């Protein structure tokens, strides 16, 4: 199956009310295990990929190494594979375009792209992030761009998330107009707010399945189109490995 065909298949899996479940993987071995278990698509997680190679998150793992890992993942599966691309390993749009071209050589058909300024506390303005999204689209007319907002992750007090909804919806609409295909809101766990976001945003909405998030069944009923597990599969696997050693 061609890269373009895999992209089309991946797009079709994003169904409101029947979400695509992505149990994030970090290398070829974990990819094969999840694929063999019945996954419909695969997605890396930046925390997991970095940690598995001894790096911290936040673009600490070299881009070439991260892409090499995705290349190995694509080699062991026929499933569509999307990469957690963090902030694009660059600020300037022209450099982002070049970096995406490198990523595309792995055979990946999509990426996550976040609006936080990696290594700092704030977010790019919506307009600047739109320019960065447009730079990704310049590299490929076909690639599935999952636009992540860090608004909710940056605010640990979940009682304040209601106040962030207007900006989140505005960003979603602007990101879509700039070439985005999906909207990822990690950290958002309130049932009413998730439902409101799914109602207001035209793009498929992606929610991360954190321990305090609603069940997958509830997320489906709220209109979520994509559920991802972030670093939690990696954490669980490492905990099991440690436990097994302790019980030797």
Q: What is the pLDDT of residues 12-38, one digit of tens each?
A: 999 999 999 999 999 999 999 999 999
Shortest CA distance to 46 belongs to which of 100, 112, 99, 90? 112
- Tell me the pLDDT band of 1, cut-offs 50, 70 and 90: confident
User: Residue range 121-139: average pLDDT?
Assistant: 97
Do 115 and 91 meet the contact criterion of CB atoms below 8 Å apart?
no
Task: Show the tokens assigned to 118.
Answer: 């990696």
Inter-CA distances, 128 with 84, 92, 94, 173, 239, Å = 20, 10, 13, 14, 39
Q: Which domain holds residue 229?
A: 3-246
Beta-ladder partners of 113: 147
User: In this predicted model, what pLDDT tens digit does every residue of 35-79 receive, in sequence order?
Assistant: 999 999 999 999 999 999 999 999 999 999 999 999 999 999 999
> Within a 10 A sphere around the Cβ of 29, how many other Cβ atoms?
13
Question: Regarding predicted confidence, which is higher, 1 or 28?
Answer: 28
Specify the CATH number for the domain of residue 52. 3.20.20.60
CA dihedral 166, 167, 168, 174 (to 10 degrees): 110
Whether residue 148 has pLDDT greater than 90: yes
Overall pTM > 0.95: yes
Tokens of 168: 């989140």
Question: In total, how many domains does the chain have?
Answer: 1
Across 120-237, the runs of DSSP E, i.e. the strands, are: 144-148, 182-184, 205-208, 226-228
CA dihedral 138, 100, 57, 220 (to 10 degrees): 60
């Amino acid at each position: 199956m061609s890269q373009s065909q895999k992209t089309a298949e991946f797009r079709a899996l994003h169904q409101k009310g029947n979400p695509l479940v992505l149990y994030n993987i970090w290398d070829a071995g974990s990819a094969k295990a999840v694929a063999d278990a019945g996954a419909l698509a695969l997605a890396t997680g930046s925390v997991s990929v970095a940690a598995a190679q001894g790096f911290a998150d936040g673009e600490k793992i070299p881009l070439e190494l991260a892409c090499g890992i995705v290349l190995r993942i694509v080699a062991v599966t026929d499933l569509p594979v999307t990469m957690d691309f963090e902030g694009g390993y660059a600020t300037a749009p022209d450099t982002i375009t070049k970096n995406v071209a490198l990523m595309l050589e792995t055979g990946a058909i999509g990426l996550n792209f976040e609006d936080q300024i990696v290594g700092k506390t704030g977010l790019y303005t919506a307009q600047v992030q739109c320019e960065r999204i447009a730079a990704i689209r310049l590299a490929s007319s076909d690639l599935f761009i999952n636009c992540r907002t860090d608004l909710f992750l940056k605010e640990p007090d979940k009682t304040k998330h209601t106040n962030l909804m207007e900006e989140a919806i505005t960003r979603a609409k602007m990101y879509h107009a700039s070439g985005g295909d999906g909207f990822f809101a990690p950290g958002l766990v309130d049932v009413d707010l998730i439902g409101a976001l799914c109602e207001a945003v035209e793009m498929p909405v992606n929610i991360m399945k954190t321990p305090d998030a609603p069940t997958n069944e509830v997320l489906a009923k709220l209109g979520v189109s994509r559920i991802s597990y972030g670093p939690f599969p990696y954490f669980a696997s490492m905990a099991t490995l440690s436990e097994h050693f302790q019980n030797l």
